[in-house]
Structure 1
Amino acid sequence: MQIIKNEKSGIAQIWLSNAEQQNERVMNLVECKIKELSGEKFKVAVFRSGSKDLYECTENLLHHNITL
């Protein structure tokens, strides 16, 4: 788990790997961190690793957006 706080923007990012997402202890810690950071007036974004191919998904998204 990686936590990045930007004091200037007031945004905190929490990055989770696939393994961390499957770990109940880590997920409980994430919930506590969200509450803690929200109490410090941060807007919290949680980013979770996916299981699909990033390149293929990005390519499909770009193609879809071009055809709109």
Structure 2
Amino acid sequence: MDMSEVVCMWPKYQRMRSDPFRRFALGITAANTTLRFWISHRAYLVASTPIDINSVPVPLFLSNPAL
């Protein structure tokens, strides 16, 4: 685990610790051209692999054509 992962996980840990009713926390980190998604639950932490936003188009918002 490198230092950037520790820096990202610490605020999530503090938020989950300070609010006993919170079930999960979501996070997105962006550094230079890389993007990473995080979900922190009381039992686990899951992080996506880093995505280069310049080379891989990422559909962040899904639209419903019926609306």
* TM-score when normalising by structure 2: 0.29
Larger strand fraction of residues? 2
Of structures 1 and 2, the one with the larger relative CO (CA 8 A, separation 6+) is 1
* TM-score when normalising by structure 1: 0.29
**Which of the pair has more CA radius of gyration?**
1
Larger helix fraction of residues? 1
